[in-house]
Amino acid sequence: MDTLQIFEKQFGSKPQVCVRAPGRVNVIGEHIDYNGGHVLPMAISRAIQIAASPRTDGQFRLYAAQMNERYEGPLTPSRTPEHFWTNYFFGVVQEFIKLGHTVPGLDAVIDGNIPRGSGLSSSAGFEVATGWMLQTLLGTQLTRMEIALAGQRAENKFVGVNCGIMDQAISACGTANHAMLLDCNTLEYSQAPLAFQGKAAILIAHSGVHRGLSASAYNQRRSKCDAAFEVLKKNVRADLPCLCAATQAELDACALQMDDEMVRRARHAIGEEARVQEAVSALANGKLERLGQILNESHQSLRDDYEVSCEELDTLTDLLRNQPGVYGSRLTGAGFGGCTVSLVATDAAQAVIEYVTKNFYQTRGCEPIVFLSDACEGVQVV
């Protein structure tokens, strides 16, 4: 049953609007969005859909199809632990109200096929879909990046997760057959063609572990990066705009004034920024082997210097790298679970999927979540 049919079953009428916002996979550029770096995500074929119609009584009737959960009542003014998924929806509604828009009550169905807890940004897709649905119903004129920023503010202030802008930006601004090169320091972005020319594809595989980077682990890594940035500004360049703008030579010059964790966290951030730039060049020049090597180098840095991998992610990426036709593989997203992203030869992809299904998922007794994805369009009315 599709989203439109679910809406008709739940509410007895056709929805006035239905929108679709994709999840994302980050090709390269991990844990540097909050360090002012560049990231290279792409919108994937898995998405969140919202079908909705306005109401005249100010009430909200929301149905989360994947969870078979329903909310009926008024707009909530702050985060609630009950039906936690509604916080993503109401957070965006509150952002529209802050911008001066009057939001009516709504009947809405939230549906989708992004695996929850996979690190493929179902929450950002939910926020962006909510924003685009409201824009369509209300006739507002926000840009796509403004929709993304409204989603980020909702997650930061209403949901209470201090995320960066990458996930919402790619869900809102993605372009088919392109990855987005986003400067997280300035929010400037361009579209980088995925010039595989039929020779390669992006393979996404779940580690079988729900994404598990805790707030304390995330904050600890972020604080070490912030501390390293302050040392660099004090001793190397007072006008250094962000950690990712530093060079490895500058970090080496200050290493004795940092503890070991600061050095390793900063080394990852600075190195990952360089890897993003080289990956864009490799893409532009069709250097698939080099792009694969960059993915492998990123995983090694995330595992050893940033320490956000886990046994399952290491095993899965090793398994993938050792298969014929796999150029490279790394963890994607926050880490400690979630997914891997791999570059694979098109003619080898099906054999790789079958091998991983048999030798990783079946041996561990977990559901095989492994699929190819094109780079897709950002949020749109369907």
Secondary structure of the chain as H, E, C letters: CCHHHHHHHHHCCCCCEEEEEEEEEEEECCCCHHHCCEEEEEEEEEEEEEEEEEECCCCEEEEECCCCEEEEECCCCCCCCCCCCHHHHHHHHHHHHHCCCCCCEEEEEEEECCCCCCCCCHHHHHHHHHHHHHHHHHCCCCCHHHHHHHHHHHHHHHHCCCCCCHHHHHHHHCCCCEEEEEECCCCCEEEEECCCCCCEEEEEEECCCCCCCCHHHHHHHHHHHHHHHHHHHHHCCCCCCCHHHCCHHHHHHHHHHCCHHHHHHHHHHHHHHHHHHHHHHHHHCCCHHHHHHHHHHHHHHHHHCCCCCCHHHHHHHHHHHCCCCEEEEEEECCCCCCEEEEEEEHHHHHHHHHHHHHHHHHHHCCCCCEEEECCCCCCEEC
**Per-residue pLDDT tens over the stretch 161-215:** 878 899 999 999 999 999 999 999 999 999 999 888 889 999 999 999 986 556 6
Candidates 3.30.360.10, 3.30.230.10, 3.20.20.150, 3.20.20.70; CATH matching 3-195: 3.30.230.10
pLDDT on residue 363: 95
pLDDT on residue 213: 57
pLDDT on residue 307: 96
pLDDT on residue 219: 81
Cβ-contact 108, 64 below 8 angstroms: no
Cα separations in angstroms, 231 against 7, 181, 258, 259: 55, 28, 8, 11
pLDDT on residue 1: 81
∠ CA 248-214-96 to the nearest 5 degrees? 95
The length of the chain is 382
Dist CA 294 CA 92 (whole Å): 36
Q: Any idea which residues carry the catalytic annotation?
A: 167
Dist CA 218 CA 216 (whole Å): 5
pLDDT on residue 119: 76
pLDDT on residue 189: 96
pLDDT per residue as tens, the chain (382 positions): 899 999 999 999 999 999 999 999 999 999 999 999 999 999 999 999 999 999 999 999 999 999 999 999 999 989 888 889 999 999 999 999 999 999 999 999 999 998 877 778 789 999 999 999 999 999 999 999 999 999 999 999 999 887 889 999 999 999 999 999 999 999 999 999 988 888 999 999 999 998 655 667 888 898 999 999 999 999 999 999 999 999 999 999 999 999 999 999 999 999 999 999 999 999 999 999 999 999 999 999 999 999 999 999 999 999 999 999 999 999 998 888 999 999 999 999 999 999 999 999 999 999 899 999 999 999 999 9
Q: Which residues contact 358 (CB under 8 A, 6 or more apart)?
A: none
